[in-house]
Amino acid sequence: MAKGVTPKSEDYSKWYTDVITKAELADYGPVKGTMVIRPYGYGIWESIRDAFDKRFKDTGHVNAYFPLFIPKSFLSKEAEHIEGFAKECAVVTHTRLKSTEDGKGIEVDPASKLEEEIIVRPTSETVIWSMYKKWINSYRDLPILINQWANVVRWEMRTRLFLRTSEFLWQEGHTAHATEAEAREETDRMLEVYREVLEDVLAVPVLTGKKSESEKFAGAIDTLCIEAMKGDKKALQAGTSHYLGQNFAKAFEVKFQNEENKEDYVYATSWGVSTRLVGALIMVHGDDKGLRLPPKVAPIQVVVIPIVRKDDDSSELMDYLHPLISKLKDSGVRVHVDDRPKMSPGFKFNEWEMKGVPIRLEVGARDMENGEVFTARRDTGEKFGLTLDAASVKIPELLDEIQNSLFNQALEFRAENTHTASTWDEFKSIVEKGGFIKCGWDGTAETENKIKAETKATIRCIPFDEDPSGINCIFSGNAAKHQVVFSKAY
């Protein structure tokens, strides 16, 4: 591994890609805009995925899998929806390759052209609702609470590792309900699941709220969202939960008979989070030494680095450590012993710091004599000795403490960079400095567009706890309809 990363303050986006490549989270794929998630990065995703999956199941959902390929005709059924995705769909037009005339190359076989082209899913609403039509007849068939873990493809022009790639992994929940109230309740419930996982597991504080008309999902009635603040003070949409009303039910003619024996269209929701969350994790917690992982998602929570000098007996050291390591493992701590020979301890320290491991234990002859392990915290950089006996109890406590400390650091950072603006000049100067801006908005798309054109800041959300009474629109000066949060976003 090469030396350090570009400092955050010098070039934030360079810092970001440096951390990803040097911590071996991901690499660029051979096709532009694609990404290989390497084992260490995938390990983080697995922790995130498992945390969500458990909560989805706990709230009554089941997993299923729908096809990657969608008939082109499906995409024309919900006008707004297709409008939103048309420009980024990959299309399958042929089904075969053949050798070229000279036998040296390979080319598309024109004879294999498809009658109806096939779309690679950019999201699965359409396939799923085509199936729900077959499965739903009566209110007794409802609700349907299905989630799928899948890859989707959105042919993006400008990509960034984890934040926006042509193909990404995600989870998409698609539920069908008999009443609007029930569907809206589901939308709220899943947003709350997202908030909880982000804050309690990823240690990323988020704002919760609703998207404005122009920022909402194509095809939704309402889009609820969680928004995080990255280390560059810009906003990152971390998850969305949509109330879709009867839009898709009408497009796919999904009707059911209700308890009064009347026919009605089904009410829908969809909600998703993606591998973008790995990017959020990096940007929210990382520092100039690399990643800092919250213990709950860290593939390795404690790394042990034995320090073996020339005449030392390494097996003696391992005997010394063994009881501690097995006690930690028994209490569910993910421990890794880095016993690679011929690598200096200093090199290992830096490497594991780059990879964001929360706790490092250095153990050599000196510690053995003292009956200690030398402990270093990744979040604060603090170092101290722990007696061998105390360590097995103290380390799990320390992991909890680090989890909290990372959350609190991020919360503090957000608080420092969240401002209230009451005049347009004030607004503009805060946009310059970066951060979230709380202010009034008259509720019109016109105002929203003008603000975006002039400052690049967008409405990130209308927070649930807004209080628009007595304030005016930051731009038009009219009475505010909402109190919103503006920010530049990724």
Q: Based on CB atoms, which residue is closest to RNA, 127 or 150?
A: 150
Residue among 125 and 351 whose Cβ is closer to RNA: 351
287 forms part of the interface with RNA (CB under 7 A): no
Nearer to RNA, 256 or 358 (CB): 358
- The residues in 47-106 that bind RNA, with binding defined as CB under 7 A, are 84, 88
Binding status of residue 308 toward RNA by CB under 7 A: yes
**Beta strands 167-177; 267-274: pairing state:** antiparallel
Q: Is residue 163 close enough to count as binding RNA by CB under 7 A?
A: yes
Interface pattern 219-258 for RNA (x via CB under 7 A): ------------------xxxx------------------
Binding of RNA by 358 (CB under 7 A): no
Among 104, 134, 262, 310, binds RNA (CB under 7 A): 310
Q: Considering the complex, what minimum distance in angstroms separates the CB of residue 14 from RNA?
A: 10
Query: Token pair for residue 13?
Result: 């986006």
Residue closest to 203 by CA, chosen among 328, 47, 330, 11: 47
Q: Are 461 and 483 in contact (CB under 8 A)?
A: no
- Judged by CB under 7 A, which stretch of 42-50, 245-253, 353-361, 394-402 contacts RNA? 353-361
Residue 136 or 373: the one with the smaller Cβ distance to RNA is 373
For RNA, the binding residue among 51, 249, 266, 354 (CB under 7 A) is 354
Among 47, 130, 274, 487, binds RNA (CB under 7 A): 274
Q: Given the complex with RNA, which of 385 and 463 has the nearer CB atom? A: 385
Nearer to RNA by C-beta: 215 or 256? 215
Counting contacts by CB under 7 A, is residue 379 touching RNA? no
Among 65, 69, 135, 347, binds RNA (CB under 7 A): 347
Tell me the site size for RNA, rule CB under 7 A.
57
Q: What string marks each residue from 132 to 161 as x (binds RNA by CB under 7 A) or -? A: ----------------------x-xxxx--
| 435-439 long-range Cβ contacts below 8 angstroms, 24+ apart | 435/229, 435/233, 435/487, 436/207, 436/229, 436/235, 436/460, 436/485, 436/486, 436/487, 437/485, 437/486, 437/487, 438/483, 438/484, 438/485, 439/471, 439/474, 439/480, 439/483, 439/484, 439/486
DSSP for 305-349, written as a single string? EE---TT--HHHHHHHHHHHHHHHHHTT--EEE---TTS-HHHHH
Question: Would you call 74 helix, strand, or coil by DSSP?
Answer: helix
Residues in a beta bridge with 271: 173, 241
Identify which of residues 37 and 266 has a Cβ nearer to RNA in the complex.
37
Q: Among 78, 125, 186, 351, indicate the residue that binds RNA (CB under 7 A).
A: 351
Which of 104, 134, 262, 342 lies at the binding interface for RNA (CB under 7 A)? 342
In whole angstroms, the minimum distance from the beta carbon of 275 to RNA comes to 6
Nearest Cα to Cα of residue 269 among 397, 143, 354, 369: 143
Q: How many CB atoms lie within 10 A of CB 244?
A: 27
Of residues 78 and 351, the one with the C-beta less far from RNA: 351
H or E element at residue 38: none
Q: What is the nearest approach in angstroms of RNA to the Cβ of residue 342? A: 5
Which one, 136 or 161, has the nearer CB to RNA? 161
- Considering only 307, 318, 411, 479, the residue that binds RNA (CB under 7 A) is 307
- What CA–CA distance (Å, rounded) separates 137 from 140? 8
Q: Which is it for the CA torsion 111, 114, 117, 118, positive or negative?
A: negative
Residue 111 binds RNA (CB under 7 A)? no
> Per rule CB under 7 A, is residue 165 in the interface with RNA?
yes
The verdict on 383 binding RNA (CB under 7 A) reads yes
Helices 424-433 and 445-455 cross at an angle (nearest 10°) of 50
Q: Residue 119 CB: number of other CB atoms within 10 A?
A: 24
Instruction: Indicate which single residue of 8, 49, 81, 164 sits in contact with RNA (rule: CB under 7 A).
Output: 164
Tokens representing 6? 């570009």
Tokens of 488: 């530049």
Write each residue from 179 to 218 as x if it is in contact with RNA (CB under 7 A), else as -, in one continuous string. Answer: -----------------------------------xx-xx
Residue 256 neighbours by CB under 8 Å, 6+ apart:
136, 137, 138, 139, 141, 142, 178, 263, 264, 266
CB of 477 to RNA, least distance (A): 23
Rg (CA), the chain: 26
The helix (H) or strand (E) run that includes residue 300 is none
Residue 10-39 contact track with RNA, rule CB under 7 A, x = bound: ----------------------x-------
**Burial environment of residue 149 by CB neighbours within 10 A (0 to 12, 13 to 18, 19 or more):** middle
Sequence-distant contacts of 452-457: CB under 8 A, at least 24 apart: 454/428, 455/427, 455/428, 455/431, 455/488, 456/431, 456/488, 457/431, 457/486, 457/487, 457/488
266 close to 259: Cβ distance less than 8 angstroms = no
Residue placing its CB nearer to RNA in the complex, 142 or 304: 304
Given candidates 37, 206, 229, 363, which one binds RNA under the rule CB under 7 A?
363
- Residues in contact with RNA by CB under 7 A are 1-4, 32, 84, 88, 154, 156-159, 163-165, 168, 170, 214-215, 217-218, 237-240, 272-276, 289, 307-310, 341-347, 349-351, 353-354, 360, 362-367, 374, 376, 383
